Structure 1
């Protein structure tokens, strides 16, 4: 039996996964409270004024774990998944949880939003205010191996025209009869 191939730097992958899970857990455990409103020393009118000014109390340890995660993946040359990269703020290393530590907005700046492939997901960090802009409406371009490289199909689309058929040049892949535009038979 052949020896199965193991993942290189398996210990770094395990460490990065643990750091991400710990940072996410600590972020979700933080409470949304304003430190001024913790006591009952404010009147009801003052509370109404401060209601919109809610501050998310955030664990500095969660930010430190996010920073450590980024350092481990960079130094160990470990590729993080796209979802993991998108869920970390590049500026402050906060785990971006929709509705709690980040705001997600769909944006389409085309004329009247007519182009569905121009949709962009804007993720804004609630702590540092930095934004990530991720395209969502368009499909990812195929790699070179996935694209069609049939030259005769390209020649056929370029040679469309009248009912007369002529032989396309020998430089194309096949020697098939393809209709040519602008060539008419002399009678």
Structure 2
């Protein structure tokens, strides 16, 4: 039997890295504030359902009440919503933003060059609030939270 050096023993304490330089991270054992996140998700789904199903209520008051409750719970529990969650809610009127139902979307280019790099996606809510996202600069952009794949080590 060969003796183990001190260097060989200390390798087990460092990050677990495979041959491609990818850090292998075990999944978390539990999600913090799981009950709060489940409640927020349920309120969002309920609001979306009422927005889609109820055509008689043009003001969408029940759906907006659910989103208002979601916002209050999120602030009280200090739970962070993902960027995709936030993009689907109007901050001023608390509506769920659904294309052709509660909002209109268009790509505009107000620059002098009129190149594709300067395209801006404009989401206009029924209340008049507009959200603008630059889409021409990097069409494949995804926020850090939505990126799929392993975490790479920088060398």
For normalisation by structure 2, the TM-score amounts to 0.67
1:24 corresponding residue in structure 2: 48
Alignment of 1:138 onto 2:125: no
Partner of 2:124, secondary structure, is strand
Give the aligned partner of residue 94 of structure 1. 95
Alignment pair present for 1:63 and 2:64:
yes
Post-superposition offset of 1:58: 3.2
Change in Cα spacing, 1:64 to 1:106, as seen in structure 2 (3 Å) is same
Alignment coverage as a number of residue pairs = 119
2:120 alignment counterpart: 120
> What is the DSSP-based 3-state SS (H/G/I as helix, E as strand, rest coil) of the residue aligned with 1:113?
coil
3-state SS in 2 of match to 1:129: coil
Shift of 1:112: 4.4
Offset at 1:30?
2.4
Q: Give yes or no for the alignment of 1:10 onto 2:9.
A: no
5+ residue gaps in structure 1? 34-55, 150-187
SS of equivalent residue, structure 2 residue 37: helix
Measure, in 1, the Cα distance between the counterparts of 2:47 and 2:27: 36
Identify if the C-alpha distance between structure 1 residues 64 and 3 changes in structure 2 by more than 3 Å, giving closer, same or farther: closer
* 4+ residue segments displaced more than 2 Å: 2-5
Q: Deviations over 1:74-93 (max 9, x none)?
A: 22122212221111001000
Tell me the distance in 1 between the aligned counterparts of 2:85 and 2:43: 11
* Contact 1:27/1:58 (<8 A) preserved: no
Q: Cα–Cα, structure 1 residues 7 and 98, in superposed 2: closer, same or farther, change >3 Å? A: same
SS at match of 2:29: coil
